[in-house]
Structure 1
Amino acid sequence: MTTQRTALVTGATGYIGGRLVPRLLDAGFAVRVLVRSPMKLADVPWADQVQVITADLADRDSLEGAFDGVDVLYYLVHSMGSSGNFDGTELSSAKNVAQLALKADVKRIVYLGGLHPQGVTLSRHLRSRAAVGSILLQSGVPTVALQAGVVIGSGSTSFEMIRHLTEVLPYMPAPKWVRNRIQPIAIRDVLYYLVKAADIDEPVNRTFDIGGPDILRYGQMMNGYAVEAGLHQRPIASLPVFTPWLASQWVNLVSPIPRSLAVPIIESLQFECVTSEHDIRTYIPDPEGGLTGYRRSVRLALDKVRTGQVETSWQDSDVRGAPADTLPSDPDWAGHTVYTDLQVRTTDARPGDLWRVIEGIGGDNGWYSFPLAWAVRGWMDKLVGGVGLRRGRRNPDHLHTGDALDFWRVEQITRGSFLRLRAEMKVPGPAWLELRVEPREGGGSTYTQRAVFFPKGLAGRLYWYSILPFHGFIFPGMANRITQTAEVEAGRTVGDVGHTHPAEPANASPADEVA
């Protein structure tokens, strides 16, 4: 009788980890996931099939016992988009994992790092990823360190950057790195290698370069996308004056990728990103049918985007590098300056009709009030390096805990009754937006909308009062339009009901084909 193996996945709330977990379950593994914020897994379809461990890789004490009985440990954590001492934190986290995995007699570590050339000065992020790989390889636990370059799949950062640059710009002034050679790999093939790495019987301890069958220049990748998307190929002019910093500003403005993520991506594109060996084939055969070509990987990704079936996305990762504090309960506000805007409406729409409008908010549907003001706020956020409004939403109809929603993130959702969004735009203090539905006695519903802002210093207070005049019509208009839309969609008579509580300060007490 074969004993079921146990896999532990770090980074399960990220783009790769979120897709790996269900495939490990399909392969017969018992799966544990290690996360800092379990709430992010509340709505994933496999949540009740895994063991969730709440811990922080940087906190050694929180990891005690987490690796006991683990056969394969997947290390999929990287502080993409982080600033400050992220590399120091990454090295410390890797050392904690290496030491405790050896102590717990973990049989294998599988790490996904970045493909990079030898003998050159790497960017800070690539150096950090290479250093993490070295620590794991020196842990005493047999480690398979896969090194991949540009990953193409629906929702991947690289795919979204190519997609938006190509779709937005009919002519592309571009940095000289568009002439560099790149070997992209489909997300389906990355996942194939990750799962199969657990089956290597030998005590292999080394890096492996992995890449797809096509070696292209970055400009060819953009025009390959254009062909698959039914667009005219774009003329591309290589301009030597485009520094990485300028290029990241450009990407930030014309795509939903914030500057904090664009910088490390573009820095890595300064080098040719081509595999120097394909030794992985000695241990893992190519997938059935062969590795996925670039054009097919784009085609598969586009199909997922067009049908709203994006499994995971770069948006799933917190762009600020660490989970923000959740909104404290009202009694915990005591002694703090808090600004709120409360809107309450009663409506003849049934709770289910009203909830469908709420859960469909943002993205193509917009925010139901003064679109120009929302657009301006989005562009202001992009200009200072934020995520802006163009990040959109992963699914057109349904939201899940941890989902990105324009410049908000779903912090809590009780389907059918409550949605809380945490602001991820650049703002001097934490902010939230809550939307609530309650059935009304005698029929219909009550809609409650509350914006909450904890100002940080004088800048926070000045910010609130500077936008107060806009709140005077944006938030009431939003409440009115949401309830009216629910009534119209339900085929009911539109009526102006309810009342408004103006914004006021308070020192209150009371997340087939793999693509």
Structure 2
Amino acid sequence: MNTDDSGDGPRCLVTGATGYIGGRLVPELLAEGYRVRCLARSPGALRDHPWAGEVEAVRGDVTDAASVAAAMRDVDVAYYLVHALGTGSGFEETDRAAARIFGERARAAGVRRIVYLGGLAPAGVPERELSPHLRSRAEVGRVLLASGVPTTVLRAAVVIGSGSASFEMLRHLTERLPVMVTPRWVRTRIQPVAVRDVLRVLVGSARMPSEVNRTFDIGGPDVLTYRDMMTRYAAIAGLPRRVIVPVPVLTPGLSSHWVGLVTPVPRGIARPLTESLRHEVVCHEHDIERYVPAPPGHPLGFDEAVRLALRRIQDAQVATRWSSASVPGAPSDPLPTDPDWAGGSLYTDRRELTVNASPEALWRVIEGIGGDNGWYSFPLAWAVRGWLDRLVGGVGLRRGRRDAARLRAGDSLDFWRVEEIEPGRLLRLRAEMRLPGLAWLEMSAESDSRGRTRYRQRALFHPHGLLGHAYWWSVSPFHSVVFGGMARNIAKAAARAPLTPPSERASAR
């Protein structure tokens, strides 16, 4: 954790840095030259971010006045990006108390501006008739505006980006249900906004003149019904056209149970989201552009925002948290701190064994896999899978491998392609067989803290539509034989391998 204060840019305090928006805002602020301090209940949760060493992380909670006061010292701009969504029936009181503490401590510390991201509210609807979620968001905005610190309250509807709870609900509903019996709220008009535009406006709001103390609506150029969004998502994701049948009997409460059954989004989050969807949420004004002008091509339309959110998958790349790598990505990409249900479904089969051989011997077996050496388990199953792939127009097993002993990134390997190779350590293959989804096979050779050689193996599958989910569950009973046997036999082959590689034995002769 870096607590170096040597930078000379304005200091921003970011609350909610472990959350969806906060975790994506921090690198945008750093890129603009701001110094960033993050207030988190568990600062250790930030360590997997690539920017962790560039920020000051302090422990605290927005409901604890002392920790908020300490975090506000020498802060110019304070971002309030937390709310108690999904914490139970008392979340409105928790939000109200936290906002008051935040505003009071910001004023006492001489903070120049507060920036808050809330929810877009419907026009002409009394606040008492709003869903509890939207009502609480509106109240937090009022509390901060009345704090005595110039405040920018930004109000957004559905945020489009991988990891956004609203977007993940849309993603899972559309991908898992080719035929949907849906609540009435699928007819509700909504003005979604791309996460890139939300972040752009959040960063730009830090520079607003001191006399600005007001609410701004932010949204993309498209006003769509939820049904429109599901239909357009399906088209962009390459799914067959969805059949959507709205019915009047599904209340918001029943809807949240239905969403919880169909998707992995927790009911505590799904319920307030579905309750809010009964309201039309369309921007009433676009005054934000007077203070944060939109560059050419912005705000992004719904289709482009969805394409960016799906980009990692459509580019056939293993996303950041999928490969356990902390690499910088675009705002639309997954982050290590995103919940498990974000970023689309990913099924994983993991195997790990201690190997009675050196890491070098194990690596030679890994790098020599496929072709004439086979796949070290149930040869008939691999052969049948190759024949089936040929029958449906796939490449089958006929390609073999370019070199019997060495692999390079981009090599074909039976019905796989070498996506990544770190010699001596990691081999990742991407499936090129015909599948209702995307698949990878990853193998690695490592030494643990006790000096033992460890073999790690992962098979990953990202399903495409309902057929993809059905495919995984239909073949998963055979994984213990195919993938379990593969791991055991690779370990045995490494233990039996000669101490010198074939190339060195040949040169010795």
Question: Which category of TM-score, normalised to the shorter sequence, fits these structures?
Answer: 0.5 to 0.7
Residue 119, structure 1, aligned to residue 121, structure 2 = no
Residue 65, structure 1, aligned to residue 57, structure 2 = no
Residues 486 and 18 (structure 1 numbering): CA distance in 2 closer, same or farther, change over 3 Å?
farther
CA distance in 2, matches of 1:265, 1:33: 27
**Could you say which residue in structure 2 is the equivalent of 1:31?**
36
Aligned residue runs from structure 1 range 331-342, under 5 A: none
5+ residue gaps, structure 1, are 320-343, 358-415, 417-435, 448-476, 495-515
Residue 316, structure 1, aligned to residue 338, structure 2 = yes
**Could you say which residue in structure 2 is the equivalent of 1:83?**
88
Aligned residue runs from structure 1 range 13-412, under 5 A: 13-117=18-122, 118-120=124-126, 121-306=129-314, 307-309=317-319, 311-312=333-334, 316=338, 346-348=354-356
> Is the 2:12–2:75 Cα contact (8 Å) retained in structure 1?
yes
CA distance in 1, matches of 2:106, 2:248: 47
SS, match of residue 316 in structure 1: coil
Residues 293 and 491 (structure 1 numbering): CA distance in 2 closer, same or farther, change over 3 Å?
farther
**Could you say which residue in structure 2 is the equivalent of 1:385?**
none
Q: TM-score, normalised by structure 2?
A: 0.65
Task: Kindly provide the CA deviation profile for residues 68-123 of structure 1, in whole angstroms up to 9, marking residues without a partner as x.
Answer: 21111000001222213222111111111100100000000000000011424111
Residues 134 and 350 (structure 1 numbering): CA distance in 2 closer, same or farther, change over 3 Å?
farther
CA distance in 2, matches of 1:85, 1:245: 17
Residue 492, structure 1, aligned to residue 490, structure 2 = no
Residues 491 and 291 (structure 1 numbering): CA distance in 2 closer, same or farther, change over 3 Å?
farther
SS, match of residue 82 in structure 1: coil
Task: Kindly provide the CA deviation profile for residues 427-471 of structure 1, in whole angstroms up to 9, marking residues without a partner as x.
Answer: xxxxxxxxx984556x53599xxxxxxxxxxxxxxxxxxxxxxxx
Give the deviation of 1:40 after TM superposition: 0.2
Task: Kindly provide the CA deviation profile for residues 376-416 of structure 1, in whole angstroms up to 9, marking residues without a partner as x.
Answer: xxxxxxxxxxxxxxxxxxxxxxxxxxxxxxxxxxxxxxxx9
> Is the 2:355–2:495 Cα contact (8 Å) retained in structure 1?
no
Residues 31 and 315 (structure 1 numbering): CA distance in 2 closer, same or farther, change over 3 Å?
closer
> Is the 2:48–2:336 Cα contact (8 Å) retained in structure 1?
no
Task: Kindly provide the CA deviation profile for residues 317-338 of structure 1, in whole angstroms up to 9, marking residues without a partner as x.
Answer: 699xxxxxxxxxxxxxxxxxxx
Q: Could you tell me which amino acid in structure 2 is paired with residue 148 of structure 1?
A: A
CA distance in 2, matches of 1:483, 1:45: 37
Residues 76 and 63 (structure 1 numbering): CA distance in 2 closer, same or farther, change over 3 Å?
same
Give the deviation of 1:253 after TM superposition: 1.6
Give the deviation of 1:309 after TM superposition: 3.6
Give the deviation of 1:305 after TM superposition: 3.8
Residues 482 and 104 (structure 1 numbering): CA distance in 2 closer, same or farther, change over 3 Å?
farther
> Is the 2:43–2:57 Cα contact (8 Å) retained in structure 1?
yes
Q: Could you tell me which amino acid in structure 2 is paired with residue 492 of structure 1?
A: A
> Is the 1:348–1:487 Cα contact (8 Å) retained in structure 2?
no
> Is the 1:154–1:304 Cα contact (8 Å) retained in structure 2?
no
> Is the 2:231–2:242 Cα contact (8 Å) retained in structure 1?
yes
> Is the 1:219–1:236 Cα contact (8 Å) retained in structure 2?
yes
CA distance in 2, matches of 1:216, 1:105: 42
SS, match of residue 241 in structure 1: coil
> Is the 1:348–1:445 Cα contact (8 Å) retained in structure 2?
no
SS, match of residue 71 in structure 2: coil
CA distance in 2, matches of 1:300, 1:345: 38
**Could you say which residue in structure 2 is the equivalent of 1:444?**
453
SS, match of residue 256 in structure 1: coil
CA-based RMSD = 3.2
Residues 349 and 303 (structure 1 numbering): CA distance in 2 closer, same or farther, change over 3 Å?
farther
Q: TM-score, normalised by structure 1?
A: 0.64
Q: Which has the larger radius of gyration?
A: 2
> Is the 1:173–1:236 Cα contact (8 Å) retained in structure 2?
yes
**Could you say which residue in structure 1 is the equivalent of 2:326?**
none
SS, match of residue 64 in structure 1: helix
163-172 vs 207-216, greater mean Cα deviation: 163-172
CA distance in 2, matches of 1:246, 1:351: 54
> Is the 1:113–1:147 Cα contact (8 Å) retained in structure 2?
yes
SS, match of residue 112 in structure 1: strand
Give the deviation of 1:257 after TM superposition: 0.8
Give the deviation of 1:287 after TM superposition: 2.8
SS, match of residue 140 in structure 1: coil
> Is the 1:183–1:214 Cα contact (8 Å) retained in structure 2?
yes
SS, match of residue 492 in structure 1: helix
- How much identity, in percent, do the aligned residues show? 48
Task: Kindly provide the CA deviation profile for residues 331-383 of structure 1, in whole angstroms up to 9, marking residues without a partner as x.
Answer: xxxxxxxxxxxxx97432667989xx9xxxxxxxxxxxxxxxxxxxxxxxxxx
217-226 vs 485-494, greater mean Cα deviation: 485-494
5+ residue gaps, structure 2, are 1-6, 321-332, 342-351, 367-424, 426-445, 457-478, 497-509
Q: Could you tell me which amino acid in structure 2 is paired with residue 304 of structure 1?
A: R
CA distance in 1, matches of 2:109, 2:255: 45
> Is the 1:14–1:317 Cα contact (8 Å) retained in structure 2?
no
CA distance in 2, matches of 1:350, 1:92: 59
> Is the 2:69–2:106 Cα contact (8 Å) retained in structure 1?
no
Q: Relative contact order: is structure 1 or structure 2 higher (C-alpha 8 Å, sep ≥ 6)?
A: 1
Task: Kindly provide the CA deviation profile for residues 138-194 of structure 1, in whole angstroms up to 9, marking residues without a partner as x.
Answer: 000000000000000112112221111111111111111111100000000000000
